[in-house]
């Protein structure tokens, strides 16, 4: 009898990724068939030592890209921690698939304590040639980035693109997902695959919003979003109403848009100040960018880009606060 190997993935108390592997006899491919499983919550700051059992509940399964062409079936399994106060996914009530999200996940690749490709004892040359750059002097880590893209696609995650970012060793990939929970699941699993692949290369993935001080862009997770009403027979008035609602709830959004985001949202380096809310057509220095596609469609159909979320933000919290605000 063949086995099914399930790699359970969950979030610890500080939004750090955790995982462990369960071997199940026989063929198991549906989430409903995957068993609950306990772990020591006292070691992840999710339970006290005298009552330490926490329960993992599978919520979405992905083909495991690290085990291809094997006798056994392998799956990566996104899990919720049952009755955990840190479980932001469980707070989402309305998970309509008509809510679309496109995350632009930025990150730095670190190697031996430095951004990949940087000199050992000095900064890289100023930013300018690195964004979507080509050539060994302008790009570091492309093979790694390409392998991550392929691994995510194998897992069924809808990666829609990748590009080198404005600093050497900084990259971005884009993930499209539907539903507040489903989009968050896919983004978290894409991060897990990124970290796991980093183990193989000896790379550390840095999601800090401003890992390098000075005249360098930080790392964000711009979030593109739309509802069915925004995509179908919409109007400028409808979009302006959404923008007004976002303005009114600005502080609530900032509160869940990532730790140390104030170091990134300074009003410089393609950001708006953290204490201001602005929007503009094609404006990458605004809180909300109105994309050219929306403008060209005369606001009858389109989407908006929220440029405030930091690279380390929890996508479950992002999708929830956006939909709670605009619907």
Count the Cβ atoms, other than its own, within 10 Å of residue 231. 15
**CA 242/CA 53 separation, integer angstroms:** 43
Same fold, 3-87 and 100-326: no
As a 3-state breakdown, the chain gives helix, strand, coil percent values, each rounded to 5, of 30, 30, 45
Domains of the chain by residue range: 3-87, 100-326
- pLDDT tens, position by position, 67-88: 976 767 999 999 999 989 999 9
**Averaged pLDDT for residues 139-145:** 98
State the CATH architecture for 3-87.
Roll (3.10)
- The length of the chain is 327
CATH number of 100-326: 3.30.590.10
- pLDDT tens, position by position, 100-141: 999 999 999 999 999 999 998 889 999 999 999 999 999 999
């Amino acid at each position: 009898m063949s086995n099914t190997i399930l790699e359970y993935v969950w979030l610890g108390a500080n939004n750090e990724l955790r995982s462990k592997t369960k071997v199940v006899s026989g063929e198991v491919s549906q989430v409903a068939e995957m068993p609950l499983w306990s772990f020591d919550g006292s070691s992840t700051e999710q339970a006290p030592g005298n009552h330490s059992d926490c329960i993992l509940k599978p919520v979405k399964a992905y083909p495991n890209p690290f085990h291809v062409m094997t006798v056994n079936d392998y799956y990566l399994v996104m899990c919720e921690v049952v009755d955990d106060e840190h479980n932001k996914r469980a707070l989402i009530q309305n998970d309509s698939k008509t809510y679309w999200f496109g995350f632009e996940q930025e990150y730095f690749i670190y190697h031996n304590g430095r951004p990949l490709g940087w000199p050992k004892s000095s900064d890289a040359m100023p930013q300018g040639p690195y964004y979507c750059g080509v050539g060994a002097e302008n790009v570091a880590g492309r093979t790694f980035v390409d392998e991550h893209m392929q691994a995510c696609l194998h897992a069924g995650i809808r990666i829609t693109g990748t590009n080198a970012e404005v600093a050497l060793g900084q990259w971005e990939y884009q993930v499209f997902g539907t539903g507040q929970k489903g989009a968050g699941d896919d983004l978290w699993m894409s991060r897990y695959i990124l970290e796991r692949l980093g183990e193989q290369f000896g790379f550390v993935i840095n999601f800090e919003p401003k890992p390098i001080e000075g005249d360098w862009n930080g790392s964000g997770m711009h979030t593109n979003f739309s509802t069915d009403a925004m995509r179908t027979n919409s109007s400028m008035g409808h979009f302006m109403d959404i923008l007004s609602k976002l303005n009114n709830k600005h502080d609530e959004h900032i509160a869940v848009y990532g730790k140390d985001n104030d170091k990134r949202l300074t009003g410089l380096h393609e950001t708006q100040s953290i204490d201001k809310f602005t929007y503009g057509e094609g404006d990458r220095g605004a809180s909300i960018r109105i994309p050219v596609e929306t403008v060209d469609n005369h606001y009858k159909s389109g989407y908006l880009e929220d440029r405030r979320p930091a690279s380390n933000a929890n996508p479950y919290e992002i999708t929830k606060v956006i939909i709670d605000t605009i619907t």
